[in-house]
Amino acid sequence: MTDSNPSKRPEIIYPQDLEIQNSEAKWWVVHIKPNQGRKLSRDLHISNVPHFLPLVETIRKTRSGAKKSKIPIFPGYLFFPGEREERRKVLETGRTVRVIDVVDQEKFKMELNQILQAIQSGMKIDPAKKYKRGTPCRIVDGPGLGMIGKVVRTKKGCSLVLEVDSIGQSIVVEVDASHVEIL
């Protein structure tokens, strides 16, 4: 049985059928107070404010074994589409530092859509520091088809850095090197 209580389990994206790329609404970045991401997500869910809180599943070793948990990919940030009313509801929660205006909406929506696609694809995701080096590329085959980022070579093979320039953050997804083409 799935727990549908929003106070206990925030969704990565609310509502689940929210389309980022095709959304007509303006998207905003919320800079969140420390350790308030899930609580803000819960508050917005209760207030029916659409939002995107990218989470990734991790496994931590504990004394009693391994424990799975979901952590924010971009600690301190949440994203939402809307106008004045939604912005007001976000600010009224008291969980935010500020709401950041996004100038290039199309680029931002494409970046967020790639992050959501990576999460939904089941690809291995690691939060990463923003990389300035690397060659721009596109995934041409596999679950990340169409994603654009920068290649980073690792001992394990090839990884792709997907950036969200507006917040200076990125994630790394592992890809088969044969599935990447240089742009």
Whether 153 maps to a domain, the answer reads: yes
Residues 85 and 1 both lie in one domain: yes
Whether 96 maps to a domain, the answer reads: yes
> Residue 10's pLDDT is what?
58
> Residue 20's pLDDT is what?
93
Helix (H) or strand (E) segment spanning residue 113: helix 105-121
> Residue 6's pLDDT is what?
45
Model pTM? 0.72
CB 139 within 8 A of CB 110: no
Residue where a domain stops, chosen among 71, 101, 131: 101
We report the CATH number of the domain holding residue 140 as 2.30.30
Q: Which domain holds residue 172?
A: 123-183
Residues 86 and 167 both lie in one domain: no
Residue where a domain stops, chosen among 53, 71, 101: 101
Which of these, 168, 110, 115, 161, lies nearest to 136 by C-alpha position? 161
Whether 66 maps to a domain, the answer reads: yes
Residues 139 and 59 both lie in one domain: no
> Residue 48's pLDDT is what?
95
pLDDT tens figures, 109-145? 999 999 999 999 988 887 665 444 578 888 888 888 8
Residues 84 and 143 both lie in one domain: no
Residues 133 and 74 both lie in one domain: no
Residues whose CB is less than 8 angstroms from the CB of residue 52 and which lie 6 or more positions away in sequence, other chains included: 12, 13, 14, 18, 20, 78, 79, 80, 112, 116
Counted domains in the chain: 2
Residues 81 and 129 both lie in one domain: no
Q: Work out the pLDDT band at 7, boundaries 50, 70, 90.
A: very low
Mean pLDDT within 101-113: 95
pLDDT at 167 over 50: yes
Q: Annotate 22-65 with DSSP letters as a single string.
A: T--SPEEEEEEPTT-HHHHHHHHHHTT--EE--EEEEEEEETTE
Beta pairing, strands 27-32 & 96-101: antiparallel
Whether 118 maps to a domain, the answer reads: no
Which of these ranges, 36-45, 50-59, 157-166, has the smallest mean pLDDT? Answer: 157-166
